[in-house]
Chains A and B, each alone.
Chain A
């Protein structure tokens, strides 16, 4: 039976919806129709796909205006008379037809500090309980289809927020690492608030709605992260509890000093703090609304929660004294490739 389709074709210079009538068989999904189009009427119709089983997250597109995976949208969910409109993801620049440039997401991934392995635990010695890893495991189900990134109105409708906002995918990454039983960093919350733009999220839950893996992005990652930020900034009871019991494993401030020193001297560069820009807007000026800032007056270019002087064991700066055990300066390992 033939069904009517409208597919957006074009590139960054412009384009439009084109009409096609395509044969549809029982049990097919939208991606099958695109393949049929490629094999017949439009051999150069550009579309990403890989596994065709909802496991790789390549075939993200918008079907009748909703962000979805082409391989997971069964044709049987549409009525026979319905016109099916297929467009590329709106939030990202288009390359051609249904293919968009998703490099925004890869850039944001790079800016999210990686897992910091615990100091002094050898490979093979990691011990974690199943109940402790389960929360993070939910977020590791993510197939990086970027439908959540695409549907989030913070960047979908406001291109200018892209710089300051990392998007749901990277909030769950931050939550995953913050809840990881053995992650050695304690500043995930600060990072989420200050560098990822957690505050932009107004929890309207569209990311959760479109997630093909049904990860509870808002309830299990974003809100807990917001609450964790509240913990250290706003909650009086938590502060009191911390004072009374002198322990707070969430912040793991009670880590042994010896461990902490070990961590700084032992080379774990992947856990190193990323350079953070001063807290000014794109115009180079500080935010006007001082009232909203936790401390009044000019914001510190080192981040608002640093007090000076720093405890020496937290300083990651290495004094440029020649270390006799190391070669003077390690040449960048180019192997002469630039000659």
Chain B
């Protein structure tokens, strides 16, 4: 059987009937990404609108999903006042969550992940795009992916708040919760600093490294972290969810915090 060319005219592509000839399990990676991200988003959504079990008073443990806590429901967890109204649709951390969401949505790694797994554009290399037309990030709304830089600045500030949470919890002694919080914060910093925008600001934008030795060293450091950006993106999803779950469990009294000191 001879199939005819797909396009009329002299400059036709090879007429290959199979949409892809890949024989490996190319669909596995996007599938895992799809399931992983969906599960996390589902968990996070439920938790954010649960409005309880977010704070352990005794040890000052505050889950990152509710930090900074800005509504009347916060009680002692409120470190920065309670300017937000008490309405169930407004999360306790309504001023920071959108930026964190934006930071991850516009992150160069997550973009790859969800363009492939959710939008199928393309699902895998050399596998056809799931859409007929394509304009990439050239126009509205995807042109706003370029706002990643703003989101990075915001995430940087929020990481400081998260660090403050860990420091504040430290004032009560030392328990497993503290360790969990610290691990989470360190990973968050690693993820935030390994961001491509950060790498660019740190020194990537320079034309002559030799004239800026300090920034060059910083750039080299961030570049090393940056090669692990994908791993860190997944690790922080894990540590965020785990930290939140641990605090939820202690707060709800499902089990008590394992105390090392105090």
Contact = CB atoms under 8 A, between A and B. Distances in A.
Given A202-B137, A249-B208, A250-B205, A66 B22 contact: yes
Interface stretch (A111-119, A151-159, A166-174, A298-306): A151-159
Contact of B13 (A64, A91, A218, A223): A91
Contacts of A93: 10-13
B207 interface: yes
Contact of B204 (A12, A204, A227): A227
A185 to B, nearest CB: 12
Contacts of A292: 138-140, 143
Interface residues of A, number: 71
Interface string A182-221: 0000000000000001011111111001100000001100
Given A15-B15, A16-B2, A157 B129 contact: yes
Most chain A CB inside 10 Å of its own CB: which residue of B7, B111, B128, B196: B196
A339 interface: no
Interface string B113-137: 0011000011001101100011111
B171 interface: no
Interface string B1-27: 111110100111111101011111000
B209 interface: yes
| Chain B interface extent, by class | 35 or more
Contact of A228 (B112, B200, B216): B200
A13 B22 CA distance: 24
B23 A249 contact: no
B15 A64 contact: no
A85 interface: yes
Given A158-B129, A227-B200, A12 B12 contact: yes
Given A100-B14, A199-B137, 7 more contacts: A62-B21, A88-B14, A158-B133, A201-B137, A203-B112, A206-B125, A291-B140
Interface of A: 8, 10, 12-17, 62, 64-67, 82, 85, 87-88, 90-94, 100-101, 129, 131-132, 151, 153-154, 156-161, 178-179, 181, 197, 199-206, 209-210, 218-219, 223-224, 226-231, 233-235, 237, 249-250, 252, 287, 289, 291-292
